[in-house]
Amino acid sequence: MKKFYSLLIVSLFAVQFAQTSAQETKVTIEDFITEHNGFEVNADGEIKPINNREINKKIRFFIEEKYLNVQFTRNIIWDSYETFLSPYDIYHSHRFIVQVKVNGIDRLKYLEIAYNPKTLKVSSDFEWNDEEAEFVKNEVDKEVEAINS
């Protein structure tokens, strides 16, 4: 019985450690400062777009993997840098607009891609809609039930 309890305690500790180590580290204020210091301003006072080959490669690979109807990507243009700060969460990301050629569509289309500089991961909330022949934002309906209903 003693061995069982010892094994149980070790197992619980291992599960707790695995959950803790698997969690992403939160963005820090220093991360924001580093990103802001990386921006350059041109003579007209405009922020120069980020043009990083490694980020562009990640974006191209992401599109090839997620959007099987895309033949190729053309231009990857930095669009914006967004931050979110609240008492409960903190994150930041860069937005890119990517020009893509979709199978069966004559005109080039545009896709919004997010890049997280903390995790170095690429993502997108957009999905291809055949009816509209456009990429549309995947809106998850969030119905809020009344407490006293």
C-beta of residue 97 within 8 angstroms of C-beta of residue 79: yes
Confidence of residue 50 (pLDDT cuts 50, 70, 90): confident
Least confident of 29-38, 52-61, 87-96, 98-107: 29-38
pLDDT value at position 108? Answer: 95
Task: Count CB neighbours of 101 within 10 A.
Answer: 15
Distances (CA, A) of 70 to 4, 88, 101, 136: 55, 37, 6, 15
Q: Tell whether the model's pLDDT for residue 101 goes beyond 80.
A: yes
Q: Tell whether the model's pLDDT for residue 56 goes beyond 50.
A: yes
Task: Count CB neighbours of 113 within 10 A.
Answer: 25
- Please state the rounded mean pLDDT for residues 19-47: 79
Selected residue with higher pLDDT from 6 and 71: 71
pLDDT tens profile 60-98? 999 999 999 999 999 999 999 999 988 888 899 999 999
